[in-house]
Structure 1
Amino acid sequence: MSDDTPKDLSQDFPLDGRKGLPEHLRVLADLYPRTEWRGHPNFNDLTSFWLERHGMFRQLNDLLVESSEKRLDGANPRYGRELQHYTSMYLNQLHGHHQIEDHHYFPQFIPLDRRLEQGFEILDRDHHALDGHIHALAASTNAVLQKIAAGDNDEKEARALLDAQKAFRAFLHRHLEDEEDLVVPVILEYGAALS
């Protein structure tokens, strides 16, 4: 007797184990290569703004990594102020961005092409996984800031923070690239249905 119940794929393709979107979710991404996105008639200002936000998140993460590396090299006297300002902005903006995607944009995209529904489930799970990393990054940042405020040596905490920042960057870059490869082709394919 065979079980014809469909396999639950909801936990497949975790963020920390992916190398990109699985082939069955690249049906539109393969039709619309990145090099052709901006020239497409359905590529609009909102899509451009969304991609710019992703670029900002990548830049802020790189800035935080570079700042911690300079601190450990003894070349960043403003580290505490920069760390507090940029980390707070980065994590708050990232959390808000994910909330908008999960509650506003993704629900609009799913009905347009049910073949990609699992992809949006994967992205939603990514957001939950990234929340854990956001909290860990905030805790590591606070540990460094507490040492700095107390006038104590923060090298151990700064090294741990740098490791956390680099790990976060790897997770975030994977997520953003996969998200772009799923979302932008949907917009290009079904743009008229989104207006």
Structure 2
Amino acid sequence: MRGMDQNLTLERRDGLPDHLRVLLDALPRSGWEAHPNFNGMVQFWLQRHLMFRDVLGRLRTDSETFLDGNVDRVKHARETSRYAGFLLNELHAHHHIEDMHYFPALVGLDARLGEGFELLDADHQALDGHIHALAKTTNGFLHAVNQPGGRDAAGKLHTALTGFESFIDRHLTDEEDLVVPVILKYAPKL
């Protein structure tokens, strides 16, 4: 997003600005499921977001358990590899589908929200860097888990997971707050 206010970057913002919440104000979360346009696609999309949050939360809490010395190194490394690989691959694919299919179909439905879709696109670009950084940190831990520096690598991974969890939650919440009301109001054929 050219000329984007730096306070709106994924790493800095604490929610959507008021002018991008116009549909959310009219269609608050509390009424989404009862809305006649809340369909299987919306439910599936929200469930994917919940799954991302759950898997990331599991990775973080498993990391904490490892750091507390309450889990076998080999088992923890295997689980970390499996869940981190799944999470990062699924996030990448999910964002690709949104960028190529869903967002282009939604962006023109309400001109007031064009900047919001640009914001989400900027988030996806920023998240690509965060995804690669988390993959690198995860791989560093997996290579070091049975080495003398394994505990330090585990601490770095925990820090990376905690930061990533914050970025992902901010992005997913803002994406939901922008996209779901558009779908509910305009009922596009996706």
TM-score w.r.t. structure 2 length?
Answer: 0.94
1:79 aligns with 2:70: no
Q: Does 1:190 align with 2:186?
A: yes
The answer to whether the aligner puts 1:172 opposite 2:168 as a matched pair is yes
Bigger Cα Rg: 1
Q: Number of residue pairs matched?
A: 185
**Alignment partner of 1:120 is 2:114:** no
Gaps in structure 1 of 5+ consecutive residues: 1-7
Any stretches of 5+ residues in structure 2 without a counterpart?
A: none
Distance in structure 1 (CA, Å) of the matches to 2:170 and 2:19: 18
**Structure 1 Cα separation of the partners of residues 123 and 16 of structure 2:** 12
Aligned-partner residue type, residue 168 of structure 1: F
* CA deviation string 1:1-40 (max 9, x = no partner): xxxxxxx654551011111100011110100010100000
Secondary structure of 1:87's partner?
helix
Does residue 1:131 correspond to 2:128, yes or no? yes
Query: Is residue 10–residue 118 contact of structure 1 (8 Å, CA) maintained in 2?
Result: no
Q: Give the one of 89, 93, 114 matched to 2:90.
A: 93
Where in structure 1 do 4 or more consecutive aligned residues deviate above 6 Å? none
Which residue pairs with 1:5 in the alignment? none
- Give the 3-state SS of the residue equivalent to 2:70 in structure 1: coil
Identity of aligned residues (%): 50
Q: Residue type matched to 1:70 in 2?
A: T
TM-score by length of 1: 0.92
Q: Is the 8 A contact 1:71 1:79 kept in 2?
A: yes
Q: Secondary structure at the match of 1:54?
A: helix
- Structure 2 residue 63 is matched with structure 1 residue 68: yes
Q: State the shift of 1:114 in Å.
A: 1.1
What does 1:9-88 align with in structure 2 at a 5 Å threshold? 9-12=3-6, 13-77=8-72, 78-88=75-85
| Pairing partner for 1:109 from 103, 106, 109 | 106
CA contact (8 A) 1:10 1:121 kept: no
RMSD: 1.1
- The CA deviation at 1:56 is 0.2
CA distance in 2: counterparts of 1:161 and 1:115, whole angstroms? 40
- Which residue is 2:155 aligned to? 159
